[in-house]
Amino acid sequence: MKLRALPGLAVISLLALAACKDKDKDKPAGDTAAASVSGAASASAAPAASVSCDAVLANIAAMDSKIDADGKKLFQALCESKSQPIRACMLAAKTMKDLDACDPHPFKDAMKPAAEPTAADLVDMDLSTADPAWRGWVAKGPKDAKVMPDMLKGARIAANGLGAYDITFVPRKTKLADTKKGIEAGQKIMGSSTKTTYVTDTAEKLEWITEVGLTKVWHFTWNMKVSGKDVTCSVGTMGAASESMVALLKTGCESLRRK
Which tens digits make up the pLDDT trace of 162-188? 778 999 999 999 999 999 999 998 888
Confidence (pLDDT) at 23: 46
**What percent of the chain is modeled with pLDDT above 90?**
50
Q: Residue 110: pLDDT above 70?
A: no
Q: Residue 6: pLDDT above 50?
A: no
Which tens digits make up the pLDDT trace of 189-206? 878 778 999 999 999 999
Which tens digits make up the pLDDT trace of 227-240? 999 999 999 988 99
Confidence (pLDDT) at 142: 95
| HEC per residue, the chain | CCCCCCCHHHHHHHHHHHHHCCCCCCCCCCCCCCCCCCCCHHHCCCCCCCCCHHHHHHHHHHHCCCCCHHHHHHHHHHHHCCCHHHHHHHHHCCCHHHHHHHCCCCCCCCCCECCCCCHHHEEEEEHHHCCHHHCCEEEEEECCCEEEEECCCEEEEECCCECCCEEEEECCCCCHHHHHHHHHHHHHHHHHHEEEEEEEECCCEEEEEEEECCEEEEEEEEEEEECCEEEEEEECCCCECCHHHHHHHHHHHHCCEEC
**Phi, psi angle pair for 192, to nearest 5°:** -70, -5
> Cα(228)–Cα(121) distance, rounded to whole angstroms?
28
Using an 8 Å Cβ cutoff, are 77 and 109 in contact? Answer: no
Global confidence as pTM: 0.61
pLDDT, average across residues 238-251: 94
pLDDT, average across residues 210-218: 89
Mean pLDDT of the chain: 80
Confidence (pLDDT) at 106: 55
> Cα(2)–Cα(78) distance, rounded to whole angstroms?
12
Q: Residue 37: pLDDT above 50?
A: no
In the chain, where the domains are located: 8-102, 119-258
Query: Among the listed ranges 18-22, 42-46, 109-113, 126-130, which one has the minimum average pLDDT value?
Result: 42-46
Using an 8 Å Cβ cutoff, are 69 and 3 in contact? Answer: no
Going by pLDDT thresholds of 50, 70 and 90, the confidence category of residue 43 is: very low
Using an 8 Å Cβ cutoff, are 36 and 134 in contact? Answer: no
Architecture of domain 119-258: 3-Layer(aba) Sandwich (3.40)
Which tens digits make up the pLDDT trace of 19-28? 544 444 444 4
Q: Residue 103: pLDDT above 90?
A: no
Confidence (pLDDT) at 35: 35
Confidence (pLDDT) at 33: 36
pLDDT, average across residues 53-62: 90
pLDDT, average across residues 108-114: 54
> Cα(243)–Cα(186) distance, rounded to whole angstroms?
23
